[in-house]
Structure 1
Amino acid sequence: MELPQKKFYRQRAHSNPLADHTFDYPTDPSSMDWSKHYPSYKGDKVRFLDIGCGYGGLLVSLAPLYPSTLMLGLEIRVKVSDYVQDRIQALQHNEPNTYSNIAVLRTNAMKYLPNFFEKGQLTKMFFLFPDPHFKKTKHKWRIINSSLLAEYAYLLQEGGIVYTATDVEDLHEWMVERLSSFPLFERLSPSEECSDPVVPLLSESTEESKKVARSGGKAYIACFRRTADPQNTLS
Protein backbone atom coordinates (compact mmCIF):
# COMPACT_ATOMS: atom_id res chain seq x y z
CA MET A 1 0.00 0.00 0.00
CA GLU A 2 1.33 3.44 -0.94
CA LEU A 3 1.98 5.92 1.83
CA PRO A 4 -0.15 9.10 1.80
CA GLN A 5 1.29 12.33 0.45
CA LYS A 6 1.27 15.37 2.71
CA LYS A 7 0.41 17.72 -0.15
CA PHE A 8 -3.14 16.34 -0.10
CA TYR A 9 -3.55 17.03 3.64
CA ARG A 10 -2.43 20.64 3.90
CA GLN A 11 -3.80 22.74 6.75
CA ARG A 12 -2.90 25.80 8.78
CA ALA A 13 0.20 25.31 10.88
CA HIS A 14 -1.59 25.93 14.17
CA SER A 15 -5.03 25.69 15.74
CA ASN A 16 -6.56 27.66 18.60
CA PRO A 17 -6.76 25.14 21.49
CA LEU A 18 -9.33 27.23 23.33
CA ALA A 19 -11.76 27.47 20.42
CA ASP A 20 -14.87 25.34 20.30
CA HIS A 21 -14.24 22.06 18.48
CA THR A 22 -16.31 18.93 18.22
CA PHE A 23 -14.56 15.87 19.67
CA ASP A 24 -15.60 12.40 20.71
CA TYR A 25 -14.12 11.36 24.03
CA PRO A 26 -14.93 8.79 26.72
CA THR A 27 -16.52 9.79 30.02
CA ASP A 28 -13.58 8.15 31.82
CA PRO A 29 -10.54 6.00 30.91
CA SER A 30 -12.33 2.72 31.64
CA SER A 31 -14.91 3.57 28.95
CA MET A 32 -12.34 3.89 26.18
CA ASP A 33 -12.28 1.11 23.59
CA TRP A 34 -8.67 0.90 22.44
CA SER A 35 -9.17 -2.24 20.38
CA LYS A 36 -10.36 -0.27 17.34
CA HIS A 37 -7.13 1.73 17.33
CA TYR A 38 -4.60 -1.08 17.68
CA PRO A 39 -4.99 -4.09 15.34
CA SER A 40 -3.33 -6.53 17.75
CA TYR A 41 -4.77 -5.09 20.94
CA LYS A 42 -4.54 -7.46 23.91
CA GLY A 43 -5.60 -5.19 26.75
CA ASP A 44 -2.31 -3.37 27.23
CA LYS A 45 -2.37 0.29 28.20
CA VAL A 46 -0.98 3.19 26.19
CA ARG A 47 2.36 4.17 27.72
CA PHE A 48 3.88 6.74 25.32
CA LEU A 49 1.95 9.90 24.43
CA ASP A 50 3.00 12.36 21.73
CA ILE A 51 0.99 15.54 22.25
CA GLY A 52 0.65 17.55 19.07
CA CYS A 53 2.13 14.71 17.05
CA GLY A 54 2.03 16.59 13.74
CA TYR A 55 2.61 14.21 10.82
CA GLY A 56 3.54 11.29 13.07
CA GLY A 57 7.28 11.12 12.46
CA LEU A 58 8.18 10.43 16.08
CA LEU A 59 5.63 7.62 16.42
CA VAL A 60 6.94 5.95 13.28
CA SER A 61 10.52 6.20 14.56
CA LEU A 62 9.69 4.90 18.04
CA ALA A 63 7.50 1.98 16.96
CA PRO A 64 10.34 -0.44 16.03
CA LEU A 65 12.44 0.62 19.04
CA TYR A 66 9.71 -0.29 21.53
CA PRO A 67 7.66 -2.97 19.73
CA SER A 68 5.77 -4.10 22.84
CA THR A 69 4.77 -0.59 23.94
CA LEU A 70 1.51 1.04 22.85
CA MET A 71 2.04 4.61 21.66
CA LEU A 72 -0.50 7.28 20.83
CA GLY A 73 -0.28 10.57 19.01
CA LEU A 74 -2.74 13.36 19.70
CA GLU A 75 -3.40 16.01 17.05
CA ILE A 76 -6.04 18.75 17.05
CA ARG A 77 -5.94 19.56 13.31
CA VAL A 78 -8.37 17.55 11.20
CA LYS A 79 -6.41 17.06 8.00
CA VAL A 80 -3.13 16.42 9.81
CA SER A 81 -4.68 13.75 12.02
CA ASP A 82 -6.28 12.23 8.91
CA TYR A 83 -2.84 12.07 7.29
CA VAL A 84 -1.30 10.35 10.32
CA GLN A 85 -4.17 7.85 10.43
CA ASP A 86 -3.73 7.02 6.75
CA ARG A 87 0.04 6.82 7.17
CA ILE A 88 -0.25 4.39 10.08
CA GLN A 89 -2.78 2.23 8.24
CA ALA A 90 -0.48 2.01 5.22
CA LEU A 91 2.51 1.10 7.39
CA GLN A 92 0.50 -1.51 9.26
CA HIS A 93 -0.62 -3.02 5.96
CA ASN A 94 2.95 -3.11 4.64
CA GLU A 95 4.71 -4.12 7.89
CA PRO A 96 2.06 -5.30 10.37
CA ASN A 97 4.58 -6.71 12.83
CA THR A 98 6.40 -3.40 13.15
CA TYR A 99 3.73 -0.70 13.36
CA SER A 100 0.80 -2.36 15.10
CA ASN A 101 1.66 -0.52 18.34
CA ILE A 102 1.00 3.07 17.17
CA ALA A 103 -2.22 5.03 16.70
CA VAL A 104 -3.50 8.60 16.48
CA LEU A 105 -6.51 10.42 17.89
CA ARG A 106 -7.87 13.83 17.06
CA THR A 107 -8.60 15.62 20.32
CA ASN A 108 -7.70 18.63 22.44
CA ALA A 109 -4.96 17.65 24.88
CA MET A 110 -5.52 20.79 26.92
CA LYS A 111 -9.02 19.63 27.84
CA TYR A 112 -9.52 15.88 27.64
CA LEU A 113 -6.42 13.94 28.74
CA PRO A 114 -8.00 12.66 32.00
CA ASN A 115 -10.87 11.23 29.95
CA PHE A 116 -8.42 8.89 28.21
CA PHE A 117 -5.68 8.08 30.71
CA GLU A 118 -5.50 6.89 34.30
CA LYS A 119 -3.32 8.17 37.10
CA GLY A 120 0.28 7.05 36.57
CA GLN A 121 -0.49 5.32 33.29
CA LEU A 122 2.05 7.04 31.03
CA THR A 123 5.80 6.52 31.03
CA LYS A 124 6.77 9.05 28.36
CA MET A 125 5.15 12.29 27.20
CA PHE A 126 6.41 14.29 24.23
CA PHE A 127 5.92 17.99 23.52
CA LEU A 128 7.88 18.57 20.32
CA PHE A 129 7.93 21.90 18.51
CA PRO A 130 4.64 23.14 19.99
CA ASP A 131 3.01 26.38 18.90
CA PRO A 132 5.05 29.14 20.62
CA HIS A 133 2.10 31.55 20.84
CA PHE A 134 4.46 34.51 20.74
CA LYS A 135 2.03 37.18 21.94
CA LYS A 136 2.04 37.58 25.70
CA THR A 137 -1.76 37.56 25.79
CA LYS A 138 -1.68 34.08 24.24
CA HIS A 139 0.89 32.52 26.57
CA LYS A 140 -2.00 30.84 28.37
CA TRP A 141 -2.43 28.74 25.20
CA ARG A 142 1.06 27.23 25.52
CA ILE A 143 0.87 23.48 26.05
CA ILE A 144 3.46 23.66 28.84
CA ASN A 145 2.02 25.98 31.46
CA SER A 146 1.68 26.01 35.21
CA SER A 147 -1.99 25.00 35.26
CA LEU A 148 -1.45 21.91 33.09
CA LEU A 149 1.70 20.55 34.74
CA ALA A 150 -0.28 19.10 37.64
CA GLU A 151 -2.33 17.14 35.12
CA TYR A 152 0.77 15.84 33.34
CA ALA A 153 2.27 14.82 36.68
CA TYR A 154 -0.96 13.01 37.54
CA LEU A 155 -0.87 10.99 34.31
CA LEU A 156 2.85 10.15 34.42
CA GLN A 157 4.08 7.34 36.61
CA GLU A 158 6.95 8.08 38.98
CA GLY A 159 10.16 7.99 36.96
CA GLY A 160 8.32 8.80 33.73
CA ILE A 161 9.91 11.33 31.37
CA VAL A 162 8.63 14.52 29.76
CA TYR A 163 10.51 15.38 26.54
CA THR A 164 10.43 18.91 25.11
CA ALA A 165 11.95 20.30 21.93
CA THR A 166 11.59 23.63 20.14
CA ASP A 167 13.55 25.90 17.84
CA VAL A 168 12.27 28.98 19.70
CA GLU A 169 14.72 29.86 22.47
CA ASP A 170 12.19 31.96 24.40
CA LEU A 171 9.72 29.07 24.44
CA HIS A 172 12.48 26.67 25.49
CA GLU A 173 13.34 28.90 28.45
CA TRP A 174 9.63 29.20 29.30
CA MET A 175 9.14 25.42 29.36
CA VAL A 176 12.34 24.79 31.32
CA GLU A 177 11.45 27.43 33.91
CA ARG A 178 7.97 26.08 34.51
CA LEU A 179 8.96 22.43 34.61
CA SER A 180 11.95 23.18 36.85
CA SER A 181 9.84 25.13 39.33
CA PHE A 182 7.13 22.45 39.53
CA PRO A 183 7.75 20.22 42.59
CA LEU A 184 7.11 16.90 40.81
CA PHE A 185 9.60 17.31 37.95
CA GLU A 186 13.39 17.36 37.88
CA ARG A 187 15.54 17.93 34.83
CA LEU A 188 17.66 15.08 33.53
CA SER A 189 21.40 15.60 33.67
CA PRO A 190 23.32 15.96 30.39
CA SER A 191 24.73 12.45 30.84
CA GLU A 192 21.23 11.02 31.36
CA GLU A 193 20.00 12.73 28.20
CA CYS A 194 22.97 11.40 26.23
CA SER A 195 22.27 7.84 27.34
CA ASP A 196 18.55 8.01 26.48
CA PRO A 197 18.00 6.42 23.04
CA VAL A 198 14.90 8.55 22.51
CA VAL A 199 16.64 11.93 22.75
CA PRO A 200 18.34 11.88 19.30
CA LEU A 201 14.93 11.33 17.69
CA LEU A 202 13.60 14.58 19.14
CA SER A 203 15.64 16.65 16.71
CA GLU A 204 15.52 14.43 13.64
CA SER A 205 12.28 12.46 13.34
CA THR A 206 9.51 15.06 13.08
CA GLU A 207 8.54 17.29 10.16
CA GLU A 208 9.30 20.40 12.21
CA SER A 209 12.71 19.13 13.32
CA LYS A 210 13.63 18.40 9.71
CA LYS A 211 12.58 21.93 8.70
CA VAL A 212 14.78 23.35 11.44
CA ALA A 213 17.73 21.26 10.27
CA ARG A 214 17.24 22.29 6.63
CA SER A 215 17.21 25.96 7.58
CA GLY A 216 20.31 25.65 9.74
CA GLY A 217 18.38 26.35 12.93
CA LYS A 218 18.90 24.90 16.39
CA ALA A 219 16.65 22.57 18.32
CA TYR A 220 16.55 23.24 22.05
CA ILE A 221 15.89 20.07 24.04
CA ALA A 222 15.06 19.54 27.70
CA CYS A 223 13.90 16.37 29.46
CA PHE A 224 12.33 16.07 32.90
CA ARG A 225 11.72 13.13 35.20
CA ARG A 226 8.51 12.71 37.19
CA THR A 227 9.65 12.52 40.80
CA ALA A 228 8.02 10.63 43.65
CA ASP A 229 4.92 12.00 45.33
CA PRO A 230 5.81 13.57 48.69
CA GLN A 231 3.77 11.05 50.67
CA ASN A 232 5.64 8.19 49.00
CA THR A 233 8.99 9.51 50.24
CA LEU A 234 7.98 9.57 53.90
CA SER A 235 9.22 6.73 56.08
Structure 2
Amino acid sequence: MAKRKRASQQEKTDSAQPPQTGLLPQKKHYRQRAHANPFSDHSLDYPSSPQTIDWSTHYPLFAGTGKRPEFADVGCGFGGLLIALAPLFPDTLMLGMEIRVQVSQYVQDRIAALRVTASTPDDSTGNSTTSSAYYQNVSIVRANAMKFLPNYFTKHSLSSLFFLFPDPHFKSRKHKARIISPTLLAEYAYVLRPGGIIYTITDVKDLHEWMKIHLTGFALFEPVDEATLRSEGKGPIVDAVYTSTEEGRKVERNGGDKWLACFRRIEVPRQ
Protein backbone atom coordinates (compact mmCIF):
# COMPACT_ATOMS: atom_id res chain seq x y z
CA MET A 1 0.00 0.00 0.00
CA ALA A 2 2.80 2.41 0.93
CA LYS A 3 4.63 1.63 -2.31
CA ARG A 4 1.50 2.25 -4.36
CA LYS A 5 0.96 5.56 -2.53
CA ARG A 6 4.53 6.68 -3.18
CA ALA A 7 4.23 5.64 -6.82
CA SER A 8 1.00 7.59 -7.19
CA GLN A 9 2.61 10.68 -5.67
CA GLN A 10 5.58 10.32 -8.02
CA GLU A 11 3.26 10.06 -11.04
CA LYS A 12 1.55 13.29 -10.01
CA THR A 13 4.90 15.02 -9.64
CA ASP A 14 6.12 13.75 -12.99
CA SER A 15 2.89 14.71 -14.77
CA ALA A 16 3.26 18.27 -13.49
CA GLN A 17 6.61 18.66 -15.26
CA PRO A 18 6.96 19.34 -18.98
CA PRO A 19 8.36 16.28 -20.77
CA GLN A 20 11.88 16.58 -22.15
CA THR A 21 11.21 14.71 -25.36
CA GLY A 22 11.14 17.89 -27.48
CA LEU A 23 13.20 21.04 -27.45
CA LEU A 24 10.44 23.64 -27.61
CA PRO A 25 8.02 23.87 -24.67
CA GLN A 26 4.37 22.97 -25.17
CA LYS A 27 1.59 25.24 -23.98
CA LYS A 28 -0.45 22.38 -22.57
CA HIS A 29 2.13 22.02 -19.80
CA TYR A 30 1.77 25.68 -18.76
CA ARG A 31 -1.90 25.94 -17.89
CA GLN A 32 -3.04 29.29 -16.54
CA ARG A 33 -6.18 31.36 -16.23
CA ALA A 34 -6.81 33.72 -19.14
CA HIS A 35 -6.58 36.86 -17.01
CA ALA A 36 -5.04 38.10 -13.77
CA ASN A 37 -6.18 40.88 -11.44
CA PRO A 38 -3.63 43.71 -11.82
CA PHE A 39 -4.60 45.16 -8.45
CA SER A 40 -3.80 41.98 -6.51
CA ASP A 41 -0.55 41.38 -4.67
CA HIS A 42 1.24 38.89 -6.91
CA SER A 43 4.41 38.71 -4.76
CA LEU A 44 6.48 40.18 -7.54
CA ASP A 45 10.15 41.03 -7.36
CA TYR A 46 10.93 44.19 -9.26
CA PRO A 47 13.92 46.52 -9.63
CA SER A 48 14.07 49.72 -7.61
CA SER A 49 14.97 51.62 -10.79
CA PRO A 50 16.00 50.86 -14.39
CA GLN A 51 19.61 51.67 -13.50
CA THR A 52 19.77 48.67 -11.16
CA ILE A 53 18.86 46.14 -13.87
CA ASP A 54 21.63 43.95 -15.25
CA TRP A 55 20.40 43.57 -18.81
CA SER A 56 23.29 41.23 -19.63
CA THR A 57 21.40 38.46 -17.82
CA HIS A 58 18.54 38.93 -20.28
CA TYR A 59 20.63 39.53 -23.40
CA PRO A 60 24.05 37.90 -22.91
CA LEU A 61 25.05 38.41 -26.54
CA PHE A 62 24.71 42.18 -26.07
CA ALA A 63 26.61 42.38 -22.77
CA GLY A 64 28.91 45.39 -22.66
CA THR A 65 27.17 47.20 -25.52
CA GLY A 66 25.10 49.48 -23.31
CA LYS A 67 21.98 48.51 -25.20
CA ARG A 68 18.62 48.57 -23.44
CA PRO A 69 15.19 47.38 -24.56
CA GLU A 70 13.54 49.57 -27.20
CA PHE A 71 10.41 47.48 -27.82
CA ALA A 72 8.10 46.57 -24.92
CA ASP A 73 5.16 44.19 -25.28
CA VAL A 74 2.89 44.75 -22.29
CA GLY A 75 0.88 41.63 -21.48
CA CYS A 76 2.90 39.66 -24.02
CA GLY A 77 0.95 36.42 -23.51
CA PHE A 78 2.74 33.48 -25.10
CA GLY A 79 5.30 35.71 -26.79
CA GLY A 80 4.09 35.51 -30.38
CA LEU A 81 4.88 39.14 -31.19
CA LEU A 82 8.38 38.95 -29.70
CA ILE A 83 9.20 35.80 -31.62
CA ALA A 84 7.87 37.29 -34.87
CA LEU A 85 9.79 40.57 -34.55
CA ALA A 86 13.08 39.21 -33.21
CA PRO A 87 14.56 38.14 -36.57
CA LEU A 88 13.25 41.28 -38.29
CA PHE A 89 15.08 43.63 -35.92
CA PRO A 90 18.14 41.64 -34.78
CA ASP A 91 19.89 44.64 -33.24
CA THR A 92 16.87 45.88 -31.30
CA LEU A 93 16.35 44.58 -27.79
CA MET A 94 12.77 43.60 -26.98
CA LEU A 95 11.16 42.88 -23.62
CA GLY A 96 7.89 41.12 -22.91
CA MET A 97 6.02 41.84 -19.68
CA GLU A 98 3.54 39.25 -18.43
CA ILE A 99 1.90 39.03 -15.01
CA ARG A 100 0.79 35.37 -15.15
CA VAL A 101 3.29 32.91 -13.67
CA GLN A 102 2.91 29.94 -16.00
CA VAL A 103 2.58 32.03 -19.14
CA SER A 104 5.71 34.04 -18.40
CA GLN A 105 7.56 30.81 -17.63
CA TYR A 106 6.47 29.39 -20.98
CA VAL A 107 7.84 32.40 -22.83
CA GLN A 108 11.09 32.23 -20.89
CA ASP A 109 11.47 28.54 -21.72
CA ARG A 110 10.52 29.17 -25.34
CA ILE A 111 13.19 31.84 -25.76
CA ALA A 112 15.80 29.64 -24.06
CA ALA A 113 14.94 26.77 -26.39
CA LEU A 114 15.14 28.97 -29.48
CA ARG A 115 18.54 30.24 -28.39
CA VAL A 116 19.77 26.66 -28.10
CA THR A 117 18.41 25.95 -31.55
CA ALA A 118 20.27 28.98 -32.86
CA SER A 119 23.57 27.54 -31.70
CA THR A 120 22.88 23.97 -32.84
CA PRO A 121 25.19 22.94 -35.71
CA ASP A 122 23.57 22.07 -39.02
CA ASP A 123 23.98 18.34 -39.67
CA SER A 124 25.06 18.82 -43.27
CA THR A 125 27.45 21.77 -43.02
CA GLY A 126 28.56 21.82 -39.41
CA ASN A 127 27.65 25.51 -39.26
CA SER A 128 25.12 26.96 -36.85
CA THR A 129 21.60 27.31 -38.14
CA THR A 130 20.51 30.85 -38.96
CA SER A 131 16.69 30.59 -38.85
CA SER A 132 16.63 31.17 -35.08
CA ALA A 133 19.86 33.13 -34.74
CA TYR A 134 18.21 36.36 -33.68
CA TYR A 135 16.39 35.29 -30.54
CA GLN A 136 19.25 36.62 -28.42
CA ASN A 137 17.54 40.02 -28.59
CA VAL A 138 14.30 39.03 -26.83
CA SER A 139 13.55 38.41 -23.17
CA ILE A 140 10.70 38.50 -20.69
CA VAL A 141 10.04 39.59 -17.13
CA ARG A 142 7.15 38.62 -14.91
CA ALA A 143 5.86 42.05 -14.00
CA ASN A 144 2.79 44.16 -13.38
CA ALA A 145 3.22 46.95 -15.92
CA MET A 146 0.32 48.91 -14.44
CA LYS A 147 2.33 49.36 -11.25
CA PHE A 148 6.00 49.08 -12.14
CA LEU A 149 6.60 50.16 -15.75
CA PRO A 150 8.94 53.07 -14.81
CA ASN A 151 10.97 50.64 -12.71
CA TYR A 152 12.10 48.97 -15.94
CA PHE A 153 12.43 51.75 -18.50
CA THR A 154 14.16 55.10 -18.37
CA LYS A 155 12.70 58.29 -19.79
CA HIS A 156 12.24 58.18 -23.58
CA SER A 157 13.97 54.81 -23.89
CA LEU A 158 11.30 52.98 -25.90
CA SER A 159 10.55 53.36 -29.60
CA SER A 160 7.60 50.94 -29.66
CA LEU A 161 5.06 50.03 -27.01
CA PHE A 162 2.54 47.26 -27.68
CA PHE A 163 -0.86 46.54 -26.13
CA LEU A 164 -2.22 43.60 -28.11
CA PHE A 165 -5.64 42.14 -27.29
CA PRO A 166 -5.64 43.39 -23.68
CA ASP A 167 -8.21 42.26 -21.16
CA PRO A 168 -11.40 44.23 -22.04
CA HIS A 169 -12.75 44.29 -18.47
CA PHE A 170 -16.30 44.57 -19.77
CA LYS A 171 -18.04 45.67 -16.56
CA SER A 172 -18.05 49.41 -15.92
CA ARG A 173 -16.72 48.99 -12.41
CA LYS A 174 -13.74 47.14 -13.91
CA HIS A 175 -12.81 49.80 -16.45
CA LYS A 176 -10.20 51.21 -14.06
CA ALA A 177 -8.27 47.97 -14.62
CA ARG A 178 -7.97 48.54 -18.36
CA ILE A 179 -4.34 48.87 -19.42
CA ILE A 180 -5.14 52.03 -21.40
CA SER A 181 -6.58 54.39 -18.81
CA PRO A 182 -6.22 58.07 -17.88
CA THR A 183 -4.08 57.25 -14.85
CA LEU A 184 -1.45 55.42 -16.92
CA LEU A 185 -1.05 57.52 -20.06
CA ALA A 186 1.53 59.83 -18.48
CA GLU A 187 3.72 56.83 -17.71
CA TYR A 188 3.50 55.61 -21.31
CA ALA A 189 4.44 59.08 -22.52
CA TYR A 190 7.37 59.11 -20.08
CA VAL A 191 8.98 55.86 -21.29
CA LEU A 192 8.19 56.40 -25.00
CA ARG A 193 10.58 58.62 -26.91
CA PRO A 194 9.26 61.42 -29.17
CA GLY A 195 8.35 59.82 -32.47
CA GLY A 196 7.79 56.45 -30.81
CA ILE A 197 4.63 54.50 -31.51
CA ILE A 198 1.99 52.92 -29.28
CA TYR A 199 0.33 49.99 -31.06
CA THR A 200 -3.07 48.79 -29.83
CA ILE A 201 -5.30 46.10 -31.28
CA THR A 202 -8.39 44.30 -30.01
CA ASP A 203 -11.36 42.32 -31.23
CA VAL A 204 -13.69 44.22 -28.89
CA LYS A 205 -15.12 47.34 -30.58
CA ASP A 206 -16.04 49.01 -27.28
CA LEU A 207 -12.49 48.62 -25.98
CA HIS A 208 -11.09 49.89 -29.29
CA GLU A 209 -13.17 53.07 -28.98
CA TRP A 210 -12.18 53.43 -25.32
CA MET A 211 -8.45 53.27 -26.15
CA LYS A 212 -8.84 55.66 -29.08
CA ILE A 213 -10.74 58.22 -27.03
CA HIS A 214 -8.27 58.25 -24.16
CA LEU A 215 -5.09 58.23 -26.27
CA THR A 216 -6.44 60.89 -28.65
CA GLY A 217 -7.44 63.05 -25.71
CA PHE A 218 -3.97 62.95 -24.17
CA ALA A 219 -1.81 65.92 -25.17
CA LEU A 220 1.38 63.93 -25.83
CA PHE A 221 -0.08 61.44 -28.33
CA GLU A 222 -1.48 61.89 -31.82
CA PRO A 223 -3.21 59.27 -33.97
CA VAL A 224 -1.25 57.80 -36.85
CA ASP A 225 -2.98 55.69 -39.49
CA GLU A 226 -1.86 52.33 -40.80
CA ALA A 227 -1.01 53.65 -44.27
CA THR A 228 1.36 56.23 -42.79
CA LEU A 229 3.10 53.62 -40.67
CA ARG A 230 3.59 51.39 -43.68
CA SER A 231 4.99 54.29 -45.70
CA GLU A 232 7.51 54.84 -42.90
CA GLY A 233 8.75 51.26 -43.15
CA LYS A 234 6.81 49.93 -40.17
CA GLY A 235 4.73 47.53 -42.26
CA PRO A 236 6.43 44.40 -40.83
CA ILE A 237 5.57 45.58 -37.31
CA VAL A 238 1.95 46.25 -38.25
CA ASP A 239 1.69 42.82 -39.90
CA ALA A 240 3.05 41.16 -36.76
CA VAL A 241 0.60 43.10 -34.59
CA TYR A 242 -2.26 41.73 -36.69
CA THR A 243 -1.16 38.10 -37.04
CA SER A 244 1.56 36.97 -34.63
CA THR A 245 -0.30 36.55 -31.34
CA GLU A 246 -2.30 33.58 -30.21
CA GLU A 247 -5.30 35.85 -29.63
CA GLY A 248 -5.04 37.33 -33.12
CA ARG A 249 -4.94 33.91 -34.76
CA LYS A 250 -7.92 32.82 -32.69
CA VAL A 251 -9.91 35.81 -33.90
CA GLU A 252 -9.03 34.89 -37.49
CA ARG A 253 -10.16 31.31 -37.00
CA ASN A 254 -13.47 32.53 -35.62
CA GLY A 255 -13.95 35.04 -38.43
CA GLY A 256 -13.90 38.02 -36.06
CA ASP A 257 -12.85 41.63 -36.60
CA LYS A 258 -9.61 43.22 -35.41
CA TRP A 259 -9.49 46.90 -34.54
CA LEU A 260 -6.10 48.59 -34.84
CA ALA A 261 -5.28 52.02 -33.40
CA CYS A 262 -1.79 53.51 -33.28
CA PHE A 263 -0.48 56.70 -31.73
CA ARG A 264 2.73 58.68 -32.03
CA ARG A 265 4.47 60.29 -29.09
CA ILE A 266 4.84 63.92 -30.05
CA GLU A 267 7.73 66.24 -29.29
CA VAL A 268 6.93 69.02 -26.85
CA PRO A 269 8.32 72.33 -28.10
CA ARG A 270 10.72 74.02 -25.73
CA GLN A 271 9.51 77.31 -24.35
* TM bracket (short chain): over 0.9
Which of 208, 211, 219 matches 1:183?
A: 219
1:92 and 1:141 mapped to 2: Cα distance?
35
Q: CA RMSD in A?
A: 1.1
Task: Name the larger-Rg structure.
Answer: 2
| Correspondence for 2:253 | 214
| Correspondence for 2:173 | 137
Which of 95, 98, 121 matches 1:75?
A: 98
TM-score by length of 1: 0.96
Deviation track 1:87-133 (CA, whole Å, cap 9, x = no partner) reads: 00001110253110000000100011111110000000000000000
Q: Alignment length, in residue pairs?
A: 232
SS of the residue aligned with 1:40?
Answer: helix
Q: Structure 1, unaligned stretches of length 5 or more?
A: none
1:228 maps to 2:267: yes
1:109 maps to 2:137: no
Residues 23-32 or 136-145, more deviating = 23-32
| Correspondence for 1:194 | 230
Q: Structure 2, unaligned stretches of length 5 or more?
A: 1-21, 120-132
| 1:71 to partner: Cα distance | 0.1
SS of the residue aligned with 1:100?
Answer: helix
2:225 and 2:105 mapped to 1: Cα distance?
37
The answer to whether the 8 Å contact 2:225/2:261 transfers is no
1:230 and 1:17 mapped to 2: Cα distance?
35
| 1:2 to partner: Cα distance | 1.4
Deviation track 1:1-30 (CA, whole Å, cap 9, x = no partner) reads: 611100011110000000111111111111
TM-score by length of 2: 0.84
SS of the residue aligned with 2:60?
Answer: coil
Deviation track 1:135-180 (CA, whole Å, cap 9, x = no partner) reads: 0000000000011000000000000000000000000000000000
